[in-house]
Structure 1
Amino acid sequence: MKKLIIASTSTIHGSGYLEYILPTLTTFFKEANTILFIPYARPGGISYDEYTAIAKKAFATIAKKVKGIHEFENPKEALKQADGIFTGGGNTFELVNQLYKNDVISALKEVVENGTPYLGTSAGSNICGVTMMNTNDMPIVYPPSFKTLEFIPFNINAHYLDPIENSTHMGETRETRIKEYHVFNMTSVLGLREGSWLEVNGDSIVLKGSLSARLFQKDKMPVELATNKEIKI
C-alpha cells in the first residue's frame, strides 16, 4: 500500500528546512533507518552534494540518516533497497528531466506503489500528480515527457497563492493560469498552500495543515477543501 506525504513546501516563513513538518515525519519514517534523497531539482542550481547535506542536517534532528541517490552506481537498485524516499524541491523541469535521463521513473513508481514511504516537497510533490504541467517553475530544460508518477489522480500546484486584495500587480493570478490550463486539459488541479500537505495511504488522500486547499476542475467553479478532510475527486 502506498504511503506518501505530499507537501507544498520544505520551508515555511520563520522556520528551518522541514522543521514545521518534522513531527509528522518522525512518525511517517519511523521504520526507516536511512532516507534515500533525490536531489535532482537543484534549487538555485546548487550541487547534488550541497543539497543532500541540507537534507542530512534536517533529518539528523530526528535521528535519521540520508544518502543521495547520485551517490549510488545503480540508482534503480538504490530505490529498490530504500527504507524511505525523499524528493526535494527546486526546478520541476530539471527534476523530471533527470528522472527520465537516469531511467528511474518506473522503478520509483513501483517501489512507492509497493509501500516504500515517500516524501515530496514542492517539485518533489509536483511529480506525484498525473503530470508536472501545473508547476510554477521556468522551463530551463526540456524533459522527454510531462507525464509523472500518477500517485494521485490530479495535479499539484505547489505554493498556491491567493490574489492579494488591493494589489497593484497586473500579472496573471495562479487561478488565471490554471483556467488557461483547463482550456486544453481535463486533469483536476489542487492548489496547495504553504505549510499544507497531503497524507496518502493507499487510495485515501487527506489534506493536512492549518489551511484549506483550492480545487480546480474543468468547466466548474473552484472550491475550497477543508483541512483534515479526505479528498475525493
Structure 2
Amino acid sequence: MRLLLISNSTMAGEPYLDYCKNDIADFLGNDRVEALFIPYAGVSMTYDEYEAKVKTRFNEVGHDVVSIHHFNDPIKAVQDAKAIIVGGGSTWHLLHEVRRHGLIEQIRTKVEDGTPYIGWSAGSNLTCPTIKTTNDMPIIDPKGFEALNLIPFQINPHYLDKTAQGHGGESRQQRIEEFLIVNQDITVAGLREGCMFIYENGKLTHKGERTCRIFKYGEEFYELSSGDDFNFLMK
C-alpha cells in the first residue's frame, strides 16, 4: 500500500498545490501517470473547474489526471485506475458521493492492492477509519461516518495550535480532546499545514518543517518531528 496524505493544498501566498507538487511527482515516479481524480469534495466549483486546477499542477511535473465524473461507470474507473487522487474541500460531501457511487470498498481494495493514493485535506480525511476529526461543517448527511479505513489512526489536517485572537470558541486541541473522550481507543495526529504523511514499503514517515501533534486518550499530547518514528500509528 502506498499513500501520500497531505494536510493542505495551498500555502498562503502560493499557487494551488505548488508547495507539494514535487512530492507528488516523486511519489508517482518518473514515468508519466494519468491518475483518476475524485473531485467530490468540491462544492463551490464545478467538477470540470476542479479537474482543471489539479490538471495544471500535475502537468507541470510530468503527470496528468482525468476526473471520475467523466466516466459512465465510476466503479470500473476505480478498478482501472493507475493512481487515485482525492482532492480537498468538504469531507462530508466527499464521503456522501463516494458512498453514493458505491466506491468505498472499491477504493479500499484497489489501494490495498498497491495502487498509489494521494489525498489532501478532505482526501486525507477519507483514508481514516472515520471522518469524525474533519474540521468542516456537516453540510450533507454522508449516511455514516465510516471512511476508507486505510490507516488505523485519525488525521486532523490544517491543525492549528491556537484560536484566532478574540475568538471565544473551543480550540482545535479542545475539540480533539472531546473526540478522545468518546473514542478512547484511537490516536489522532494533528497534521499542520505544509506537512504530509508518506506510507510506502510498510513504513510511515512525516515530511514538513512543522511538528506533528499526537493525541491519545488519558495522555498528555506531544510533538514529533520529521525523522522521528511514526510507525506506531499504523499498528
TM-score norm. by structure 1 comes to: 0.95
The residue that corresponds to 1:42 in the other structure is 42
Deviates more, 1:196-205 or 1:65-74: 196-205
The residue that corresponds to 1:191 in the other structure is 190
The residue that corresponds to 2:134 in the other structure is 135
1:109-131 Cα distance to aligned partner (Å, 9 max, x none): 01111111110000000011111
1:113-172 Cα distance to aligned partner (Å, 9 max, x none): 11111100000000111110000010000111111111211111110001169x332211
Shift of residue 198 of structure 1? 0.1
The residue that corresponds to 1:105 in the other structure is 104
| 2:20 aligned counterpart, secondary structure | helix
Shift of residue 202 of structure 1? 4.7
RMSD across aligned positions (CA): 1.4
**What CA distance in whole angstroms lies between the structure 1 residues aligned with 2:68 and 2:155?**
24
Shift of residue 220 of structure 1? 1.0
1:1-233 counterparts in 2 under 5 A? 2-30=1-29, 31-43=31-43, 45-163=44-162, 167-186=165-184, 187-231=186-230, 232-233=232-233
Runs ≥4 residues deviating over 3 A? none
Report if the CA contact (8 A) 2:163-2:171 is conserved: no
| 1:107 aligned counterpart, secondary structure | helix
Write the letter of the residue equivalent to 1:40.
Y
TM-score norm. by structure 2 comes to: 0.94
Report if the CA contact (8 A) 2:198-2:205 is conserved: yes
Report if the CA contact (8 A) 1:32-1:83 is conserved: no
Identity %: 38
Write the letter of the residue equivalent to 1:50.
E
Shift of residue 228 of structure 1? 2.7
Shift of residue 25 of structure 1? 1.3
Write the letter of the residue equivalent to 1:98.
E
Q: 1:108 to 1:32 in 2, by over 3 A?
A: farther
| 1:214 aligned counterpart, secondary structure | strand
Shift of residue 81 of structure 1? 1.2
**What CA distance in whole angstroms lies between the structure 1 residues aligned with 2:6 and 2:167?**
27
Shift of residue 229 of structure 1? 2.5
- Gaps (5+ residues) in structure 2? none
Shift of residue 40 of structure 1? 0.1
Q: Paired residues, what number?
A: 230
Shift of residue 101 of structure 1? 0.2
- Gaps (5+ residues) in structure 1? none
Q: 1:227 to 1:135 in 2, by over 3 A?
A: same
Write the letter of the residue equivalent to 1:178.
I
**What CA distance in whole angstroms lies between the structure 1 residues aligned with 2:180 and 2:27?**
34
Report if the CA contact (8 A) 1:32-1:84 is conserved: no
Report if the CA contact (8 A) 2:2-2:111 is conserved: yes
